[in-house]
């Protein structure tokens, strides 16, 4: 009886039959929106907390990095520099000990310093900026120049003393110093001649213009 009364009332109000379903859907939509909004707020809060935590972590890491830099990096750099210098000194010693040996090569040097050829190449490039083969040649040339400076005038003999052929010695000497060994010796001789002439004017008992003899290649000559 009551159900019939309600149905009659519903029909009297002219309510569409799909209205209850529509109201139910709207109620579900409202509930879903409320849930979404609440979740977004929760996510926003979590994100803020996460960002704050990350910022604090970054700040602490920067402080730690600065502390470690102040305490550790400088000694480490000094230690590395010392090891690099030790390697260079050791390599020079081994090259000088075998400087007359024309067959002394990168393979021999890498074995003497206890490194592979590849490792030695990387180390020398990083430290002195040249590969091992050039490093060996530079040591030979510097020793050769030192011998010329000390009065060795036989270029072929000097080349042999540093483990190079006369042709290679002349070629790389000019490449490194801008002069051939012959021209370099001539400049040394001219400089010595000029120095002697300067000293001459301050020598008692010798008149101006008097020349002092020099000995070049075993022969005494007057300037």
Q: State the pLDDT confidence band at 94, using cuts at 50, 70 and 90.
A: very high
- The DSSP secondary-structure symbol of 213 reads E
Q: Which pLDDT does position 70 carry in this prediction?
A: 47
Q: Please tell me the pTM assigned to this model.
A: 0.54
pLDDT exceeds cutoff 60 at 221: no
CA–CA dist 48, 58 (Å, integer) = 15
CA–CA dist 2, 7 (Å, integer) = 9
Condensed to tens digits (0 to 9), the pLDDT of residues 14-71 reads: 556 666 677 777 777 778 888 878 877 777 776 777 777 777 767 766 765 554 444 3
Domain extents for the chain? 88-193
CA dihedral 56, 61, 67, 69 (to 10 degrees): -150
First to last CA, the chain: 150
Condensed to tens digits (0 to 9), the pLDDT of residues 153-197 reads: 899 999 999 999 999 999 999 999 999 999 999 988 888 777 666
> Could you give the percent of the chain with pLDDT greater than 70?
68
The architecture in CATH of the region 88-193 reads Orthogonal Bundle (1.10)
Higher-scoring residue by pLDDT: 109, 2: 109
Q: Which pLDDT does position 28 carry in this prediction?
A: 77
Rg of the Cα atoms in the chain: 45
CB 77 within 8 A of CB 88: no
CA–CA dist 150, 218 (Å, integer) = 15
> Could you give the percent of the chain with pLDDT greater than 90?
43
Q: Which pLDDT does position 214 carry in this prediction?
A: 41
At residue 171, φ and ψ (nearest 5 deg) are -65, -50
- Average pLDDT, stretch 207-215? 39
Higher-scoring residue by pLDDT: 18, 132: 132
Q: Which pLDDT does position 130 carry in this prediction?
A: 93
CB 129 within 8 A of CB 192: no
| Residue 109, C-beta contacts closer than 8 angstroms, at least 6 positions apart | 91, 94, 95, 120, 132, 136
Q: Which two tokens stand for residue 200?
A: 């001459």
Q: Which pLDDT does position 12 carry in this prediction?
A: 56
pLDDT exceeds cutoff 80 at 212: no
């Amino acid at each position: 009886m009551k159900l019939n009364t309600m149905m009659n009332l519903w029909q009297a109000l002219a309510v569409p039959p799909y209205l209850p379903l529509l109201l139910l859907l709207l109620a579900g939509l409202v509930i879903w929106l409320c849930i979404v909004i609440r979740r977004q707020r929760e996510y926003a809060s979590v994100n803020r907390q996460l960002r704050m935590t990350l910022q604090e972590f970054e700040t602490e890491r920067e402080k730690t990095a600065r502390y470690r830099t102040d305490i550790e990096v400088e000694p480490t750099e000094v230690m590395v520099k010392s090891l690099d210098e030790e390697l260079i000194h050791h390599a020079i010693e081994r090259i000088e000990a075998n400087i007359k040996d024309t067959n002394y090569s990168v393979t021999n040097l890498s074995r003497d310093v206890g490194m592979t050829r590849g490792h030695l190449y990387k180390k020398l490039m990083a430290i002195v900026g040249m590969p091992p083969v050039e490093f060996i040649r530079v040591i030979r040339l510097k020793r050769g120049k030192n011998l010329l400076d000390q009065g060795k005038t036989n270029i072929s003999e000097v080349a042999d003393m540093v483990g190079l052929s006369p042709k290679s010695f002349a070629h790389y000497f000019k490449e490194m110093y801008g002069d051939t060994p012959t021209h370099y010796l001539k400049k040394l001789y001219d400089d010595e001649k000029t120095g002697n002439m300067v000293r001459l004017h301050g020598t008692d008992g010798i008149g101006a213009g008097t020349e002092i003899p020099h000995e070049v290649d075993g022969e005494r000559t007057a300037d």
